[in-house]
Amino acid sequence: MRKKSGRGIRPYLYIAAIAVGIIILGWLIFSKPVPVYQEKIFSSLGTVVRVNLAGDKVSSEVLVNIAEKEFSRIHNKYSPNTEGSLIYILNEKGKVKVDEEALFLFQSAVNYAALTGGAFDPTVRPLIKLWGFDDEFSTKRVPTQEEINQALSYVNYRFINIDKENMEVSFLKDGVEIDLGAIAKGYAIDLVIQRIREVDPKASGFIDAGGDIGIIGPKFKELPWVIGIRDPFSQDYFSAIDTIYLTNGGVATSGDYERYFISEGIKYHHILDPKTGYPARDAVSVTVISENAMTADIFSTALFVLGYENPALEYFTNFGIQALIISPTGERIETSGFNYFREKIK
Ligand code: AMP
Ligand code: MG
C-alpha cells in the first residue's frame, strides 16, 4: 500500500520541481535588473552641477566621473575668467585659433544671436562686467547712462568674425568681449550626454547644471523624470509653480532670482537686454523645453529678453522649442505645445 502511494506522488513532485526550476530560470533570464542611480554634485561653469546616472554596461560610478571630467574640460576651455581658455584669449587678444568643436559653439552662438534678433547676444560681456555680474566677487552697482552707452557700443554679435578656412575667431572691433554664459551650460550638458551614450548607450539619468537640465532616457527604463519649475516669486528654492515630465531632451529656466542685487529698492539681475544695456524687465522666469539642452539654454535667455508680450513667441516653436514665460505680475504665457509636457503618461 505504502509503496503504491509513494510511486503515485513522486512523478508529480518531479513535475512541480521542474516547473519551479523553469520559472526561476525564466525570471533570471527575462527580468530586467533595476538601474542603480549614483549622484554626484560638483561646481562647474559658475554653477552647481548635479548628475544622477545609472549605467547599463558600465558602472554608474564610472559614468558620473566621466560627466564631471567632461564638465571640467569644457569649463577650462570656455570660461571667460579662466586664464588660457579660448574665451579668455579671444577677449584679451581679439582673436583665437579654434578646433571643430569650438567652431560649432561659436557658430551656434552667432546663428542664434541672428535668429533672436540679438536678444541673445554673446558680445554682452562689456555690459556684464559693468554691472558686476561677470564674477561673484565683482562689485555690483548701477552704472551711469554714459557708462552704459559706452559699453553698448561694443555689443553686437556682428562684430564676431568666424573664419572657417583658417579655423580662427576674431573681433572686428577693439574692445569687444564675449561671454557664453547663456549657452555654455546647455552645450556642456549635450556634450556630456553624447559622451555617456558613446560609453553606455542604455544608460539613463539626468544632468542638472543650475536649472538647465538634460535627460538621458526614462527613469528605471520606463518612467518620466519629474521636473519642478521654480516659483520666481518665492524665496524658497524648492517651491514649484509647475511640473513637467520628460524622458528625453533638455529643459532650461532663466530667472531673475539667479543672480541679482537690490539698489534703492529696485532689483537688478544678470540677464541684460543688449538693446538697452539694462536688466530685461518683461519677464521674471522663462522655461524652455527642447530636444537638446543647448537650444533650451539659448532660448530661455533670449525669450527672457524678448518678454511676455513678444508677438513672435509662437514662431520660435519652428526651431523645436516650447516655452513658458512668467510675467512680472505673475501672468503665464506659453507656446501651444508646452502643455503636452504636463501630462505624466506618454
Ligand atoms: P542664463 O542663466 O542661461 O539665462 O544666462 C545668463 C548669463 O548669460 C548671464 O550670467 C550672462 O553671463 C549672460 N547673459 C546675460 N544677458 C545675456 C544676453 N542678452 N545674451 C547673451 N548672454 C547673456
Ligand atoms: Mg540660457
Instruction: Tell me, in angstroms, the distance from the centre of ligand 2 to residue 337's CA.
Output: 20
Give the nearest ligand 1 atom to 304 CA: 4
CATH of the domain at 330: 3.10.520.10
Q: Dihedral of CA 152/142/88/74: which sign?
A: negative
Residue 297 lies in a domain: yes
Q: What is the maximum alpha-carbon separation in the chain?
A: 112
Per the structure, the complete domain to which residue 240 belongs is given by: 224-346
**Mean pLDDT (whole number) for 31-55:** 91
Q: Report whether pLDDT(125) > 50.
A: yes
Q: How is residue 215 written as a grid cell? A: 535627460
Sorting pLDDT into bands at 50, 70 and 90, what band is 8? low
- Residue 120 Cβ contacting ligand 1 at under 6 Å: yes
Residue 195 lies in a domain: no
The β-bridge partners of 50 are: 41, 208
Nearest residue to 140 (alpha-carbon basis) of 254, 256, 268: 268
Residue 164 lies in a domain: no
Residue 14 lies in a domain: no
- Residue 134 Cβ contacting ligand 1 at under 6 Å: no
Of all residues in the chain, what percent carry a pLDDT higher than 70? Answer: 93
- pLDDT, residue 1, reads 47
- Residue 231 Cβ contacting ligand 1 at under 6 Å: no
Q: Which residues contact 346 (CB under 8 A, 6 or more apart)?
A: 224, 245, 247
Residue type, 177: E
- pLDDT, residue 13, reads 74
- pLDDT, residue 26, reads 60
Q: Whose CA is closest to atom 3 on ligand 1?
A: 182
**Mean pLDDT (whole number) for 312-331:** 97
- pLDDT, residue 215, reads 97
Nearest residue to 65 (alpha-carbon basis) of 185, 196, 189, 184: 196
Nearest residue to 193 (alpha-carbon basis) of 211, 213, 210, 220: 213
**Mean pLDDT (whole number) for 74-88:** 96
Q: Report whether pLDDT(67) > 80.
A: yes
- pLDDT, residue 343, reads 85
pLDDT in tens, 219-237: 998 999 999 999 999 988 8
Instruction: Tell me, in angstroms, the distance from the centre of ligand 1 to residue 310's CA.
Output: 18
Whole-number Å distance between alpha carbons of 123 and 13 = 80
- Residue 297 Cβ contacting ligand 1 at under 6 Å: yes
Residue 290 lies in a domain: yes
- pLDDT, residue 11, reads 74
Q: Which ligand is nearest to the CA of 47?
A: 1
Whole-number Å distance between alpha carbons of 91 and 181 = 14
- pLDDT, residue 344, reads 74
Residue 211 lies in a domain: no
- Residue 290 Cβ contacting ligand 1 at under 6 Å: no
Q: Which ligand is nearest to the CA of 295?
A: 2
9 or 302, which is more confident: 302
pLDDT in tens, 204-221: 999 999 999 999 999 998
Query: Taking CA 195 as the corner, what is the angle to CA 193 and CA 196, rounded to the nearest 5 degrees?
Result: 65
Sorting pLDDT into bands at 50, 70 and 90, what band is 40? very high
Q: Whose CA is closest to atom 6 on ligand 1?
A: 182
**Mean pLDDT (whole number) for 140-159:** 98
Q: In a mutational test of the pocket of ligand 1, which residue from 177, 270, 290, 326 has the highest number of ligand atoms less than 8 Å from its CB?
A: 270
Q: Report whether pLDDT(99) > 80.
A: yes
Q: Which ligand is nearest to the CA of 296?
A: 2
- pLDDT, residue 59, reads 96
pLDDT in tens, 275-292: 999 999 999 999 999 999
Residue 319 lies in a domain: yes
- Residue 301 Cβ contacting ligand 1 at under 6 Å: yes
Residue 159 lies in a domain: no
User: How many domains does the chain fold into?
Assistant: 1
Whole-number Å distance between alpha carbons of 321 and 297 = 11
Q: Which ligand is nearest to the CA of 297?
A: 2
- pLDDT, residue 24, reads 64
Supply the pTM of this predicted model. 0.91
